[in-house]
Structure 1
Amino acid sequence: MSFTMIGFGLIFIKNPPKEINSTLGYRTKMSSKNKDTWSFAHKYAGKVWLLSGGVNAILFIIVLNIFKDSGVFESIVNTITSIQIAILLLVIPFTEIALKKTFNKDGKRKIQGFPVKNLIM
């Protein structure tokens, strides 16, 4: 599971689907508004998956080595796998929050920094 997250993270960061489509990629109403939201969503989701997949892989290897000879090994693996699936799905709310912070409801980037009216004296 961790290596799947890392793999898709790298793909989404380096080579996301170029065109908005209904079959491949991170497809939500907000990410499909335009090419800017599409690209942003894939890069953001890719970073989340890459980071969480890397952390998961390290923790999974450590925990497996600690419990490899114990009677609870199978339960530990099942629990970790369930946690990894939950983390895999958390990319959706994280990415949607980032999209809403970066873009307005029409898919146009929000102005970052000081509002223009504060610059006028």
Structure 2
Amino acid sequence: MNPYIYVLSVNGLLLFFSLLFYFFPPTKINGLYGYRTNKSMQNEDIWNFANQFFNKTLLIYTAIALVAALLFVFVTNVEITWQPMVLMLLSLAVSVIKTEQALSQNFDDEGKRKKQ
């Protein structure tokens, strides 16, 4: 398979979904669409904050992962196999970790906003 097609099918598809989530965020708490964790689904305020923050960070990190994967393909002559997948998983993991940290910094365990 052409390495550019492989990168676009893995990292490009995730970038497409991050754009979709960014421009069409979920409006109500649901079990199908959006950033769904126990903490993010406690109330509407946390839900809106978590989805806005996650969508923004996911968009940034998937764009970085796509560019990095394309540069990797362009610069190296090795056959790519797992490298784009690792970049995709790292961008997802970083987005989730950063969102959970932001939730912990802005909301208490009961779902109320912390005083700043």
1:4 alignment partner, SS class: helix
Q: 1:103 aligns with which of 85, 104, 107?
A: 107
The residue that corresponds to 2:55 in the other structure is 46
Q: 1:62 aligns with which of 62, 68, 71?
A: 71
The residue that corresponds to 1:16 in the other structure is 25
Identify unmatched segments of 5+ residues in structure 1. 113-121
TM-score (norm 1): 0.76
Q: Residue deviations 1:22-64, cap 9 Å, x none?
A: 2221111110011110011111111111111111121111111
1:96 deviates by: 1.0
Matched-pair contact (CA < 8 Å) for 1:20–1:35:
yes
The residue that corresponds to 2:79 in the other structure is 73
TM-score (norm 2): 0.79
For the structure 1 residues 96 and 2, does the alpha-carbon distance in structure 2 shift closer, same or farther, using more than 3 Å as the test?
same
RMSD after superposition: 1.8
Q: How many residues align?
A: 107
Moved over 6 A (4+): none
Identify unmatched segments of 5+ residues in structure 2. 1-9
Matched-pair contact (CA < 8 Å) for 2:69–2:83:
no
